[in-house]
Every structure is written in C-alpha cells, then in structure tokens.
Amino acid sequence: MKSLAPFLALSFLLFTGCSEPAYTFNEADPLDAKVSGEKAFAHVSALVGFGPRPAGSEALENSRKYLEKELAALGWVVRRQTFKTKTPRGQIEFTNLLARFGEGSWEKPVEGVLCSHYDIKLYDDIAFVGANDGGSGTGLLVELARVLGERPEAARRIELVFFDGEEAFGTNITSSDGLYGSKHYAGQWLLKPEKDRPRWGVLLDMVGDIDLNIRAAVRIPGHSIRELAEAKEKGAPVVDMVKIEESLQFLARHLLDAAGELDLRDHVGVSSDYIIDDHIPLNVVAGIPTIDLIDFDFPAWHTPADTLDKISAKSLAITGRVTLRLVEKYLLAGDW
C-alpha cells in the first residue's frame, strides 16, 4: 500500500487504494505520444454504423458486443453491470461496461477511473446517430485502452467504464431522468469503504468536434449540494464536498499543465459554469473527484447533423493526448 499523501498545502488526505509499486513517468517515452486519432475515429465510425443506439435498443446491445470484443482483444477483462430502473418510458434495463486490465485485475483495487457514455439520445421523429455525443468519447476510450495496454503497470491501476443511460428520455436531464448508469455505478462504490474507492476520475464526452474547444467541467451545481445536505439530515451517508471541490480544482490545474506541456492550450480550458453529466454522481454520490472533458460548443448537439463529418481524428488525438498526459504524469506518477 502507498501511504497517505498531503493534498496541496492542505491537510486533505487521500488513500491510494493501490497495491502496485510507485509509478514512474518517463518523459522520453510518454503514453500520450502513442495515441492514434485515426484508430479512435475508426471505433466511432463502427459505433455509428450500428445506427441509433438509445438505451434498451438492439443497436446498443450490438455496440456492447463490439466494445467487449475490442477490449478483450486488447487484454482488458470486461464485466457487465446490468440493472433495471423506472424511466419516463417505463422500466428499462441498462448495462454499464466495466473493464480492468489483465488476469486477476478484479481482485485488486484501482487508483482511477476513465469513463464515457456509449448510449445516445432517443428520438422518435429524427435519425440521430450521435457521432460526437456518445460516439467520440467511447471511441477514444477504446483507443486509450489500447495505449494503456502497452504499459501494463499503468493499465492495472485504472478501471474503464462505459456508461449506459446518460441521456434523458425527456428533453433534459433532471433529478429523475438521465444519468442512470453513472448513478448506479456511483451507488455501488458508496457501498464500499472510502479507502477502497478510486481516488480520481476523468470523463470523456463530446470530445471529437472538428473545431475542438474543450471546457472541462469541474463545478458542482447548487442543487446537488442541497440534496446532499438534505440526505445528511436524514442520516444517509454523504461525501465531504469540501474535499471533493478542492480535488476538482487540483485536477483542473493539472489538466491545464498537461495541455500546456503539449502545446495544446488553444484547445483546452476550464468552464466557469457547471455542466450536468456523468461526472456529477461520481463526485457527489461516490466521492470520487471526477473532471468532465467536454466541448459543449457544438451546434449539431442533439440534432440529425451529429454525424461523422462533424468530428475529426485530429481532435480525438488532441483529447487523448491531453488525457493521458494528465493521467500518467500528474495522477499516476504525481503526488496525488
């Protein structure tokens, strides 16, 4: 076990929860240099080829099988996390895909989580295929699985998660509609001791726009804080949001450090507002500080125009490189 480490200049302590020896970042051979935007784009193209993929659809099951096959070929051991819950469309079955690297990987704790959502929004009246929203983060995550697999000492420290049910069935995500997969996943971690949970998370969503302008989401909406306060009054277990928000600021600063080192700051910044996405349950339910890499300045969002021609291999490579620099240098090898 690693020992508890100081968080910035504060008395904030985080348990590493990892039995691996200390990880060393090799500046001469960084993982981020191995990212292929073309390979990521090919995965997005394959997913789009299944057609509309909303939760509960046959096309989404085909997507699951594709992801399971690709990840297994790269050395990742995949588990399905399946559950049913009530939605505005009735009872729906959802399935998150969880992956860890190598044999025996599920017997050890992990340090962090890399995640995306692989479902897309359901429309009854338009043909929506979600190349960017649902496709880009998922395709890139499979490519990151390939790169990480070339360095097992890094891969073994990470859990990959592909969320089902991010999209709401209604117009917008609400407290009772949307984020189904991440809420369930976060709730499962809440059942475990804090020392056994991952220490950080990075969410990838809408990261392939040709005109890439990521504004990472690190703020927590006020209504989530109020819900936590109400839960605490009722005696429910809650997370320490002061620590979570301090951790998110730490993640944001090092995200910018990583982008600057790669001369990619023109494409990466931090949002001044909150965004409702799968990182919210990870932060406020599971207590896993998670940053959301997202380019929400995307005119084709939730329209039939969210097609492959709106994303690029170059943008996927940029996001992938910044993500792996952040993860490898600052989260795995850094004093986190």
pLDDT digits (tens, 9 = 90+) for 54-67: 999 999 999 999 99
Alpha-carbon radius of gyration of the chain:
18
> Domain residues for 124?
26-332
Half-sphere exposure (Cβ direction) of 33: Cα atoms closer than 13 Å: 8
Tell me, what CATH number does 112's domain have? Answer: 3.40.630.10
Judge whether 237 lies within some domain.
Answer: yes
The whole-angstrom separation of Cα 148 and Cα 279 is: 22
| Contact of 93 with 60, CB cutoff 8 Å | no
| Helices marked H in 16-90 | 37-48, 58-73
How distant, in Å, are the alpha carbons of 91, 290, 296, 303, 320 from that of 299?
32, 26, 9, 8, 22
pLDDT tens-digit profile of 291-326? 999 999 999 999 999 999 999 999 999 999 999 999
Q: How many domains does the chain have?
A: 1
Write b or e for each residue in 214-233: b if 16 or more Cβ atoms lie within 10 A of its Cβ, otherwise e: bbbbbbbeeebeeebeeeee
Contacts of 46 (CB under 8 A, 6+ apart): 66, 139
**Range 245-266 average pLDDT:** 97
**Distance between CA 335 and CA 319 in Å, rounded?**
23
**C-alpha to C-alpha distances, 180 to 122, 145, 169, 197, 280, nearest whole angstrom:** 14, 24, 11, 20, 12
Q: What is the DSSP letter of 95?
A: E
Across all residues in the chain, what is the average pLDDT? Answer: 91
Of the CA atoms within 13 Å of residue 86, those in its CB half-sphere come to 2
Instruction: Compare 236 and 74 and report the one with higher pLDDT.
Output: 74
Q: Is residue 141 part of a domain?
A: yes
Nearest to 159 by CA among 219, 89, 111: 111
Nearest C-alpha neighbor of 298 from the set 169, 218, 206:
206
Residue 3 lies in a domain: no
User: Is 6 within the bounds of a domain?
Assistant: no
251 domain-assigned: yes
pLDDT tens digit string along 114-132?
A: 999 999 999 999 999 999 9
Q: Is residue 15 part of a domain?
A: no
User: Is there a domain that residue 1 lies in?
Assistant: no
Q: Average pLDDT in the 49-78 region? A: 98
Residue 226 has pLDDT above 80, yes or no: no
What pLDDT band is residue 251 in, cutting at 50, 70 and 90? very high
Instruction: Determine, yes or no, domain membership for 21.
Output: no
